[in-house]
């Protein structure tokens, strides 16, 4: 019967798988309460990939069957999610290369190694934040910036293939552990180097690059007030306002006792009024009034004559007669007290109204 190589053979395999699973589950549970005091932390998705060297050591049941070349090149890809400032979870797949096998010193073929799994990464220390147990600034672990030390614990599944060599997989499910360094930049890019172990069969020393997606919390920046420089402006030349025409106010014409003639002062007032009225087409109502001296019928006649005196004078100055009307009110509309001489003088009048 042909001898067989055994991959992932270990008496303590179950213990290691249980321990790795416990660490993975415990880290996931611990990452939840961390969010209560890590309000500045932003959970982000990231992708990673890299290359490295591997050391592959399948167990041989006989000295005649030996491993001639245990080292090879490997490569990996990963997809991760930052849970909190301390923990991230990452799924990965890796091709670890192949182990060359000899039988009695003659090449007998090779065994290929491929693995995939899921791990919890715990960030233990950061060059900007210090220990992960200390809740310090937001520039280190909160943003995965600067140099960080992290550990890995998880479980995976190993796939093997052979080229001319008989083998059996004793424990395809295995525990995975690792220790690495990560240097993160502010733009979400990070560089990694890590030593991983897949149980007792495989070791993988790799370097890689990582890219995180999504924004990071940025401290608010106080707005800069623009500097205002006072600049003297020339005073605008304001146009000289045209003088406003004074409102046209009709004059009051006063008469002597029992008279309807105009005095010199009243003639001058009517001259100015007639000149202004010739520039428009408004009409004029002329009302005559008296004091209460004399009989009522006489006063009514006297008030009409006073109104007609003003009418005739304005007509003589060129105002069309059709624009003027007259009315006599006698003593019925006093504007002052007829019991005094001054009051009676104010009541002996002619009023002009523009319509």
What's the domain count of the chain?
A: 2
Does residue 236 lie within any of the structural domains? no
Does residue 247 lie within any of the structural domains? no
CA torsion, ordered 264, 268, 273, 279, to nearest 10 deg: 140
Rounded CA separation 31/187 (Å): 24
| Model pLDDT for residues 76-116, shown as the tens digit of each residue | 999 999 888 788 999 999 998 888 888 777 777 888 888 99
- What pLDDT score does 138 carry? 45
Does residue 151 lie within any of the structural domains? yes
Does residue 72 lie within any of the structural domains? yes
User: Do residues 72 and 203 both lie within one domain?
Assistant: yes
Range of the domain at 191: 3-7+15-26+40-213
CATH of the domain at 72: 2.40.160.20
Which DSSP category does 248 fall into? -
Q: Which of 172, 175, 135 is nearest to 155 (CA)?
A: 175
CA angle (220 as vertex; 39, 186 as ends), nearest 5: 75
Does residue 177 lie within any of the structural domains? yes
Rounded CA separation 249/228 (Å): 54
Instruction: Please provide residue 333's backbone torsions phi and psi, each rounded to the nearest 5 degrees.
Output: -130, 65
User: Do residues 116 and 193 both lie within one domain?
Assistant: yes
Does residue 286 lie within any of the structural domains? yes
| Model pLDDT for residues 212-269, shown as the tens digit of each residue | 997 654 444 455 566 655 666 667 676 666 665 567 889 999 999 999 999 999 999 9
Q: Are strands 45-56 and 189-198 parallel, antiparallel or unpaired?
A: unpaired
Rounded CA separation 122/277 (Å): 103
CATH of the domain at 338: 3.30.1330.60
With b for 16 or more beta-carbon neighbours within 10 A and e for fewer, the 215-237 pattern comes to ebeeeeeeeeeeeeeeeeeeeee
User: Do residues 208 and 107 both lie within one domain?
Assistant: yes
Does residue 53 lie within any of the structural domains? yes
Rounded CA separation 38/84 (Å): 8
| Model pLDDT for residues 34-93, shown as the tens digit of each residue | 444 444 567 889 999 999 999 887 777 667 677 777 788 999 999 999 888 788 999 999
User: Do residues 267 and 207 both lie within one domain?
Assistant: no
pTM, full prediction: 0.53
User: Do residues 135 and 257 both lie within one domain?
Assistant: no
With b for 16 or more beta-carbon neighbours within 10 A and e for fewer, the 120-145 pattern comes to bbbbeebebbeebeeeeebbbbbbbb
Rounded CA separation 53/72 (Å): 6
CA angle (325 as vertex; 324, 326 as ends), nearest 5: 130
User: Do residues 203 and 335 both lie within one domain?
Assistant: no
User: Do residues 146 and 283 both lie within one domain?
Assistant: no
User: Do residues 134 and 192 both lie within one domain?
Assistant: yes
Does residue 100 lie within any of the structural domains? yes
User: Do residues 130 and 272 both lie within one domain?
Assistant: no
Report whether pLDDT(1) > 70.
no
Least confident of 17-21, 289-293, 349-353: 17-21
- What pLDDT score does 3 carry? 42
């Amino acid at each position: 019967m042909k001898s067989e190589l055994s991959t992932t053979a270990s008496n303590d395999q179950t213990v290691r798988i249980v321990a790795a699973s416990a660490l993975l589950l415990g880290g996931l549970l611990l990452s939840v309460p961390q969010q209560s005091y890590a309000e500045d932390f932003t959970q982000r998705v990231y992708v990673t990939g890299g290359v490295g060297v591997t050391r592959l050591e399948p167990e041989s049941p006989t000295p005649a069957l030996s491993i001639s070349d245990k080292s090879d090149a490997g490569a990996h890809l990963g997809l991760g999610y930052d849970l909190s400032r301390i923990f991230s979870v990452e799924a990965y797949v890796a091709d670890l290369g192949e182990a060359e096998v000899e039988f009695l010193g003659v090449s007998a073929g090779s065994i290929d190694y491929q693995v995939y799994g899921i791990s919890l990464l715990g960030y233990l220390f950061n060059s900007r934040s210090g220990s992960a147990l200390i809740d310090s600034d937001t520039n280190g672990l909160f943003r995965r910036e600067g140099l960080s030390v992290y550990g890995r614990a998880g479980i995976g599944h190993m796939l093997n293939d052979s080229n001319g060599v008989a083998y059996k997989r004793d424990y395809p499910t295995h525990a995975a552990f690792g220790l690495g360094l990560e240097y993160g930049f502010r733009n979400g890019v990070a560089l990694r180097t890590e030593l991983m172990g897949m149980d007792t069969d495989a070791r993988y020393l790799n370097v890689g690059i990582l890219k995180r997606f999504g924004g990071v919390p940025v401290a608010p920046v106080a707005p800069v007030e623009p500097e205002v420089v006072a600049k003297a402006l020339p005073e605008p030349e304001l146009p000289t306002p045209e003088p406003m025409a004074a409102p046209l106010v009709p004059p009051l014409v006063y008469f002597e006792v029992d008279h309807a003639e105009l005095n010199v002062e009243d003639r001058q007032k009517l001259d100015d009024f007639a000149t202004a009225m010739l520039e428009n087409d408004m009409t004029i109502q002329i009302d005559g009034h008296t004091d209460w001296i004399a009989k009522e019928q006489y006063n009514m006649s006297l008030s009409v004559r006073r109104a007609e005196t003003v009418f005739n004078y304005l007509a003589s100055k060129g105002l069309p007669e059709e624009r003027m009307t007259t009315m006599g009110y006698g003593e019925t509309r006093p504007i002052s007290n007829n019991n005094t001489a001054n009051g009676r003088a104010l009541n002996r009048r002619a009023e002009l109204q523009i319509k």
